[in-house]
Chains A and B, each alone.
Chain A
Amino acid sequence: MATTYIEPVVKPGPQNWVERNRLRILPIYRYMRRNPSLVWGIGILLSLLLFVGYGTLFYPHERFRPLSADVRLPPSTTYPFGTDTQGRDIFAVMVRGIPLTLRIGLIAGGIGLVLGTSLGFIAAYYGGWVDAAIRTVVDVGLTIPGLLILILIAVNVKGGLSVDQMGLAVATVAWVHPARTIRSQVLVMREQLYVEIARLSGVSGLGIVFREMMPNLMPYLAASFVGSVGAAILASIGLEALGLGPFDSPTLGMTVYFNIVFSSVVVGMWWWLVPPIAAMAMIFVGLFLIASGLDEWANPRLRKRI
């Protein structure tokens, strides 16, 4: 009897990457199904970034400067979005302007979040007169719109604000909302059992803050960050629309300002007005959707409400 050698059957593994990583993708996919606003929000912002990336790599975006093209040209193959009254190529302005506007928002939102979170923690943790003082300042900050203070600052800076200075200026008013949110969250969290246990086991104050509370605050921090980036961009565009922005930088707000100054609508130059408005609307709607998506992550009980 000849021994028959049985060829070991090696099942060919799935060649497809998706098939192979099925178990890893599935929960993410399920979560995305459950939280469509987060997906939409991220998608909208990503598509803006793709536009910027494409423009930076394949488009002569140096034409954002005035006098780099003929004036008042409607959209054509050379100038997909046309040109404005001062000879800027509007496609190039968009390619340069979207990241600048986002940059102002990120600078202000980032500083605002760090400052606000620290103050919120300090207020909630120490209580007493420290809390009273911080709370009063936050209450005043909620009563006075940040834009007013920003107007005063911008008017008094010689030669106007640059993009980064603008981010810093907006940061001075961007910490109020995070401070309030984080303070109330920490107040709730302080009474929770796991914080109590950590304290009883002799974990230091900073240890409790960073190892016990921070991870639980993550969704709130993320939502606060998105919120303050949105608010900062809103404030910066408001300032720019009033004519207090960086005149040499092609941010979205400055584009709107020039639209107002040169009455683009009256002359019928819709191609000048529509791109910045569309870009801003996409930024705001995207951030808003991400914020409500994060909200759902933070409070699963709210599920299916927004």
Chain B
Amino acid sequence: MTEIVVERPSGTSAAARRMRFAQRFFVAVVGNYVFRRVLFFLFVVWLASTVIFIIPRLSGQDPVKEKLLLEAQRGGHLQSGFEDMARTYQKRFGLDRPIWIQYRNFILDLAQFDLGPSIAFFPRTVNDILMDSLVWTIGLLGTVTILSFVIGTLSGALLGWPRAPGYFKYLFGPLLTLSAIPFYLLALLLVFLFAFRFSIFPLFGGYGIGKVPDFSLDFALQVLRHAILPAMSIILASIGFWALGMRGMMVTMQGSDFMVQAEAKGLKAGRIFLRYALRNALLPQTTALALSLGTVLTGAVLVEVVFRYPGLGNTLYQAIRLSDFFIIRGFVFAVIVSLALATLIVDITYPLLDPRVKYRKG
């Protein structure tokens, strides 16, 4: 006798319906590519904040006290109420509470992007100071990244293209060498050659000395003139990176079926190059763009130090010299958040560029 299983018609009871909805919701949202990327972004930011919280406490150093001590030594004498003063500051910064409360407050503050007050420039906040320099860094880095990506990718494509003019292959050696040299070494060389030897460009700064930033044409030209050397050092050093990657991809494209088909159809060389080879070789470059952002940014920070360019790098350098731990901490946090955000954006837009990558699986 067969057992008869009476299957309950699904969707009758409210509980079952709710259950099914939860299931679908789970599959749709949690299994979703975008959701997982966002989750990863939040995870990166949380982990970074935790590391930022833990490292100073492992060292057992008290940033406020250190700074006060330094100031007192500079002033030549240690005030009698020094310990009291340090305690007052600690209370002000909430450093006298139990550690988990400190951690909770820290994370809450960071979640609202409140990076706290600066120690060296006390009434000003870290947000305020970072914002001032952020504009310069974004302006420089944005332009430079786009320029070097375009130039590097194009020259790489021509390097890997058998029908390109012969003299292109002489570019290969110099590009290879440049790609191995860090940005700021190149920056130092450029400063030496073009600012000192030939005095074509200014030695340092973001605009002329004694200028007040305004929106005049004169000021814009000055900014441009000051930006050329820093930009050149980043562009020259990173062109090689893009060119090498692109060249490799172009070479693998050569043997593929769609290239043979395009040739057989008798398409013009330019069309094959742009629409068939370049278009397909471009995809991995975009992934590389996301991965290289961190390297480019930290490299650019050092270039800014070399040129005393008024961006984030110079702010960091000053903060280190003044041992202003809060600015350093704020800098690290801000950079990590913006990098994670940039990676998130590239990750989410990537499937739009490459339909083969589906949103479902990461």
**What residues make up the interface of A, taking CB atoms closer than 8 Å to B?**
136, 139-140, 142-145, 147-149, 151-153, 155-158, 234, 237-238, 241-244, 256, 259-260, 265-266, 268, 270, 273-274, 277, 280-281, 284-285, 287-289, 305-306
Contact = CB atoms under 8 A, between A and B. Distances in A.
Interface string B275-288: 00000000000000
Given A145-B295, A148-B336, A155-B320, A285 B185 contact: no
B298 A148 contact: yes
Contacts of A242: 302, 305, 316-317, 320
A259 B297 CA distance: 22
B180 A155 contact: no
B329 A152 contact: yes
Interface in B281-312: 291, 294-295, 297-298, 302, 305-306
A265 B51 contact: no
14 contacts: A145-B339, A148-B336, A149-B332, A151-B316, A155-B328, A156-B58, A256-B185, A260-B305, A265-B192, A265-B195, A266-B203, A270-B192, A273-B188, A284-B180
A259 B332 contact: no
Given A140-B43, A143-B339, A260-B305, A277 B185 contact: yes
Those 3 A-B pairs whose CB atoms lie nearest each other, nearest first:
A288-B180, A145-B294, A156-B59
B112 interface: no
Given A140-B44, A148-B336, A284 B294 contact: no
A153 B291 CA distance: 24
A143 B184 CA distance: 22
Contacts of B340: 143-144
Interface of B: 40, 43-44, 47-48, 51-52, 55-56, 58-59, 61, 176-177, 179-182, 184-185, 188-189, 191-192, 195-196, 203, 244, 248, 251, 291, 294-295, 297-298, 302, 305-306, 316-317, 320-321, 323, 325, 328-329, 332, 335-336, 339-340, 343
Given A242-B316, A268-B196, A285 B180 contact: yes
Nearest to A153: B55
Contacts of B332: 148-149, 151-152
A71 to B, nearest CB: 20
Contacts of A270: 192, 196
Contacts, number: 122
A155 B322 CA distance: 11
A11 B307 CA distance: 71
B296 to A, nearest CB: 9
A284 B203 contact: no
Contacts of A153: 55
Contacts of B182: 234, 237-238, 280, 284
A238 B302 contact: yes
Given A152-B55, A259-B188, A285-B181, 5 more contacts: A156-B61, A260-B305, A265-B195, A280-B182, A285-B180
A145 B44 contact: no
A281 B328 contact: no
Contacts of B325: 155-156
Nearest to B41: A143
Contacts of B295: 145
Given A145-B294, A265-B195, A241 B56 contact: no
B246 to A, nearest CB: 13
Contacts of A241: 184, 302, 305-306
A213 to B, nearest CB: 27
B165 to A, nearest CB: 20
Give the one of B52, B58, B185, B297 with max A CB within 10 A: B185
B196 to A, nearest CB: 5
B51 A149 contact: yes
A155 B326 CA distance: 11
Contacts of B297: 145
B153 to A, nearest CB: 18
B306 to A, nearest CB: 6
Contacts of A148: 298, 332, 335-336
A78 B145 CA distance: 46
